[in-house]
């Protein structure tokens, strides 16, 4: 839920002023007001048309996949990566200096909040903000974990977040706005990016007319993040034995669902199929920015 400390990291999308709770809304000093939905998320829009978000059918397929724990190895891999980087203390600079509020994790393109909730389970003191443009996904993200707040906003534009507010930024199978990622990340913070490997869901892509993984994704990733330096990388693979229904959900939850006939896909799938899942995890630290006011993770 959107607790006061999470709201403290948000900014008005129209004037960039801080927001505060006012009954069932968030409001800035200039009077711009944003209603809190009954489903638990807040829409921080500017009035411009948002990109089309994932529809309820895709979100439902993703939820069933996550409920079946088919991507739990990725949740574990993210937790292990953070443990390796932070050495068991999140974030590391809190060893020497009390945090200004609890640590903040921002998940850009969070979908249902599945991976953000996994991080928060491993780091008991942190709070999280889930950003997405899909109302259907955010309804679930708002309930994914007690310490998650859900925000409807366009992650391609200026993010309604304070400079340097995030200790950790997650970007899992989602678009990347490098400039805004760096602005919201604390100077000693960490960006964690997850992208599919070339053989991700290989068996499905060999049998079905699905989208291919971009062969130039590593180059495009580096190009999208000029404000960052790569700290580390690891590849994680696992296999899953799927029923026809589970395989159909894997197709239906991803970008290929926009381009294929799922009825025809279901007809072509066998009763059971073993599928390879593969992901690349990369961690990044921000390059120095021009001086900005002291804040979370910045010199005081």
In a domain? residue 172: yes
Q: Tally the domains of the chain.
A: 1
The confidence band for 93, taking pLDDT boundaries of 50, 70 and 90, is low
**Rounded mean pLDDT of the chain?**
91
In a domain? residue 13: no
CATH classification of the domain holding 275: 3.40.50.150
Contact by Cβ (8 Å): 186, 297 = yes
pLDDT over 90 for what percent of the chain?
Answer: 79
Mean pLDDT, rounded, for 149-165: 96
In a domain? residue 66: yes
| pLDDT above 70 (res 42) | yes
SS3 assignment, position 83? helix
The confidence band for 48, taking pLDDT boundaries of 50, 70 and 90, is confident
Give the domain range for residue 259.
47-286
Integer Cα distance of 74 and 230 in angstroms: 20
CA 195 to chain centre: 12
Contact by Cβ (8 Å): 173, 107 = no
In a domain? residue 150: yes
The confidence band for 94, taking pLDDT boundaries of 50, 70 and 90, is low
Q: According to DSSP H, which parts of 87-144 are helical? A: 114-122, 135-141
Using CA atoms, how far residue 76 sits from 106, 220, 236, 238, in Å, is 18, 26, 10, 12
Q: Which of the two residues, 188 and 297, has the higher pLDDT score?
A: 188
Q: How many Å from the N-terminal Cα to the C-terminal Cα in the chain?
A: 30
Instruction: Indicate the Cα dihedral angle 164, 46, 221, 274, nearest 10°.
Output: 110
Q: Is the pTM of this model over 0.75?
A: yes
In a domain? residue 25: no
What's the pLDDT at 99?
46
In a domain? residue 165: yes
The confidence band for 299, taking pLDDT boundaries of 50, 70 and 90, is very low
Contact by Cβ (8 Å): 277, 73 = yes
**Among 235, 6, 252, 196, residue whose Cα is nearest residue 107:** 6
Contact by Cβ (8 Å): 98, 92 = no
The confidence band for 165, taking pLDDT boundaries of 50, 70 and 90, is very high
Mean pLDDT, rounded, for 168-176: 96
Q: According to DSSP H, which parts of the chain are helical? A: 4-7, 56-67, 72-86, 114-122, 135-141, 178-184, 202-207, 217-224, 244-252, 262-268
| Tens of pLDDT, residues 226-267 | 999 999 999 999 999 999 999 999 999 999 998 899 999 999
In a domain? residue 5: no
In a domain? residue 32: no
Integer Cα distance of 290 and 273 in angstroms: 52
């Amino acid at each position: 839920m959107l607790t006061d400390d999470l709201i403290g990291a948000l900014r008005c999308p129209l004037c960039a002023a801080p927001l505060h709770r006012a009954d069932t809304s968030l409001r800035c000093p200039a009077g711009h007001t944003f209603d809190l939905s009954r489903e638990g998320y807040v829409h921080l829009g500017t009035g411009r048309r948002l990109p089309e978000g994932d529809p309820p059918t895709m979100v439902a397929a993703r939820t069933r996949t996550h409920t079946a724990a088919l991507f739990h190895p990725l949740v574990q891999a993210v937790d292990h990566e953070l443990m390796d980087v932070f050495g068991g203390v999140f974030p590391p600079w809190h060893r020497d200096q009390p945090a200004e509020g609890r640590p903040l994790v921002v998940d850009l393109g969070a979908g249902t909040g599945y991976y953000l909730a996994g991080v928060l389970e491993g780091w008991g003191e942190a709070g999280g903000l889930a950003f997405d443009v899909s109302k259907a996904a955010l309804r679930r993200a708002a309930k994914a974990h007690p310490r998650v707040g859900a925000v409807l906003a366009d992650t391609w534009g200026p993010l309604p977040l304070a400079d340097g507010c995030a200790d950790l930024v997650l970007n899992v199978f989602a678009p990347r706005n490098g400039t805004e990622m760096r602005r919201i990340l604390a100077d000693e913070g960490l960006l964690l990016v997850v992208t599919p490997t070339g053989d991700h869901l290989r068996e499905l892509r060999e049998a079905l007319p699905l989208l291919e993984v971009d062969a130039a994704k590593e180059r495009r990733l580096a190009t999208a993040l000029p404000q960052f330096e790569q700290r580390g990388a690891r590849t994680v693979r696992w296999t899953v034995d799927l029923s026809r229904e589970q395989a159909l959900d894997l197709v239906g939850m991803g970008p290929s669902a926009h381009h294929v006939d799922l009825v025809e896909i279901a007809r072509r799938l066998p009763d059971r199929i073993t599928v390879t899942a593969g992901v690349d995890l990369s961690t990044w630290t921000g390059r120095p920015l021009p001086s900005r006011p002291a804040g979370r993770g910045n010199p005081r």
